[in-house]
Chain A
């Protein structure tokens, strides 16, 4: 069974640009959560999607948004990039909403903002 895949793996952008990251969950998993990982703040929850609906959102500005498609694939978008948005963005999929026991993480997208 294929794991969680994230594309692209690496991305370099400049301040003010926007970026879209993609996450394909494990087959059969319907929940996708997104996290930001930085050396200073560690792993922080961004949001969770289940059945194309955002169920929960972390404490991030509105520049961070996401969506989920009918096949459970998810995208997150960051607009008006800032230097502080440089981070490893991880997505995790699970069978059902809130099911952290079946949560599997992807390898992440490393975003660098110059």
Chain B
């Protein structure tokens, strides 16, 4: 089983819709990161959440870290085609060994 379970695996929506993707685990983490990866590029760090219950906003993106620091969600308001990409959550384990979830592949249609 994966350390981080991301859902849904695929998501296709129309421009203007809202969406939420999830990153779940049975383990507790000191921090969790979200990345977006576009085709032909490497992942780009969006946010790091550290405190249980923490909410961070990045324009139309809202990130929340679960109270128990085992899970996280990413909510996008009024999605745009430019939001299309692979959304990955990741946690740092010992000695900079980053573990990634399998990702949610989001497609936003104009």
Q: Is the CB of A43 within 8 A of B43?
A: yes
Interface stretch, picked from A14-22, A63-71, A74-82, A100-108, is A100-108
Give residues 73-110 of B contacting A (CB, 8 Å).
88, 90, 92, 94-103
Name the prevailing secondary structure of the A interface residues.
Answer: strand
Chain A residue at smallest Cβ distance from B48:
A101
Q: A43-B88, A100-B92 are in contact. Are A92 and B99 (CB under 8 A)?
A: no
The number of chain A residues touching the other chain, given as a range, is: 20 to 34
- Indicate which residue in B44, B94, B96, B100 contacts A33 across the interface (CB closer than 8 Å): B96
For A84-114 the 0/1 string (1 means CB < 8 A from B) is 0000001010000111110111111000000
Q: Is the CB of A100 within 8 A of B95?
A: no
Q: A92-B42, A105-B43 are in contact. Are A42 and B96 (CB under 8 A)?
A: no
The number of chain B residues touching the other chain, given as a range, is: 20 to 34
Q: Is the CB of A97 within 8 A of B97?
A: no
Q: Is the CB of B41 within 8 A of A48?
A: no
Q: Determine the chain B residues whose CB is within 8 A of the CB of A103 once the complex forms.
A: 45, 98
Chain A proximity of B24: nearest CB distance (Å):
15
Q: Determine the chain B residues whose CB is within 8 A of the CB of A42 once the complex forms.
A: 88, 100-103
Residue with the highest number of chain A CB atoms closer than 10 Å, among B48, B90, B96, B101: B96
Q: Is the CB of B96 within 8 A of A100?
A: yes
Give residues 6-45 of B contacting A (CB, 8 Å).
33, 40-45
Q: Compute how far the CA of A58 lies from the CA of B99 in the bound complex, rounded to whole angstroms.
A: 10
Chain B residue at smallest Cβ distance from A41:
B102
Give residues 37-58 of B contacting A (CB, 8 Å).
40-45, 48
